[in-house]
Chain A
Amino acid sequence: MANTQAMCTSFKGEILSGIHALGTTVIRAGTGADTLKAALYLASATVNASTTAYSATGEVSGSGYSAGGVTVTNATAPTTSGTTGYWTPSASFTYTSVTLTTAFDAVLVYNSTQSNKAISVHTFGSQTITAGTFTLTMPTSDATNALIRIA
C-alpha cells in the first residue's frame, strides 16, 4: 500500500451539500435545502468569477420578467463520480411570456436563502425575446457535463 496526497472526492460532493464549515464560526443558518435562483444579465453587464452576490445592476428587465429571475428546481442531490463532485438543476430554467428587447447573454445562479450569494455564471450567445419564451436546458448531470463540477 502507499499513501497518495489528494483532496478526498467525498469532500467535493459534501462541499456542494454544505456539510463542511471550515471557518472559525459556522455562518450557515438553518438545515433545510436552500432556494436557488437564476437571473439573466444584459450583454453589456459584468458578471463573472468576481461576482459575489446577485445584483439588479445589469439584470434584464421587461414585460413578464421578475427581478431576481426564476427559482431553480434542485431536486437532485450533489454527488460524485470518479474524482469529481458535481450537481445539475433537475429542470430547465424557463422564462415564460417575456419580452426582453435588450440583448442578454448570461445567467447567474445564486443562493436566495444565503443572502443571494453567487454560485456560478453561464454565458451563451446574445438573445432577445419578443412575446415569447426563453429556455435554458441543463446539460447531462454527470462528471463530464454537469452544470457545476469540482474536479
Chain B
Amino acid sequence: MIVTTTHGEMDDSLLEKREGGVDNDNESTVWVEYWLAGELVHRSAHVSLKRAAVSISKIGGFNG
C-alpha cells in the first residue's frame, strides 16, 4: 500500500506501522503512524464524537 509521507509517497513495506486509539465516554479514536528510521513520516487520526453539545431549556412561570 502506498502511504503519503513527509518524503512523498512511499510503499508501506519500507515503513514501521504503529496504531493505537482511545475509547471513552467522549470519543472513539483511532490513529495510525508510519515511521522511517526513527522519524515520524505520517500520522492520521479518526475521531468519532460521542458527546453532544446539549442545552437544557427552561422557562419562567407566574406562580412562584
Contacts and interface: CB of A to CB of B under 8 A. Distances in A.
A114 to B, nearest CB: 18
A151 B56 contact: yes
Contacts of B55: 149-151
A124 B57 contact: no
Contacts of A21: none
Contact of B27 (A125, A132, A151): A125
A120 B50 CA distance: 14
Contacts of A130: 6, 33, 40-43
B61 A151 contact: no
Given A5-B59, A137-B49, A150-B55, 20 more contacts: A12-B57, A99-B6, A122-B49, A123-B26, A124-B27, A124-B47, A127-B31, A130-B33, A130-B43, A131-B4, A131-B5, A132-B42, A134-B46, A134-B47, A135-B47, A137-B47, A147-B53, A148-B52, A148-B53, A151-B54
A98 B54 CA distance: 30
Nearest to A99: B6
B13 interface: no
A55 to B, nearest CB: 18
A136 B49 contact: yes
A131 B29 contact: no
16 contacts: A7-B59, A97-B4, A120-B53, A124-B29, A125-B29, A127-B29, A127-B47, A129-B43, A130-B33, A131-B6, A132-B4, A132-B32, A139-B52, A148-B52, A150-B55, A150-B57
B48 A137 contact: yes
Interface of B: 4-6, 22, 26-27, 29, 31-33, 40-59, 61
B50 A139 contact: yes
Given A97-B4, A131-B6, A132-B4, A122 B45 contact: no
A121 B51 CA distance: 11
Nearest to B44: A132
Contacts of A131: 4-6, 41-43
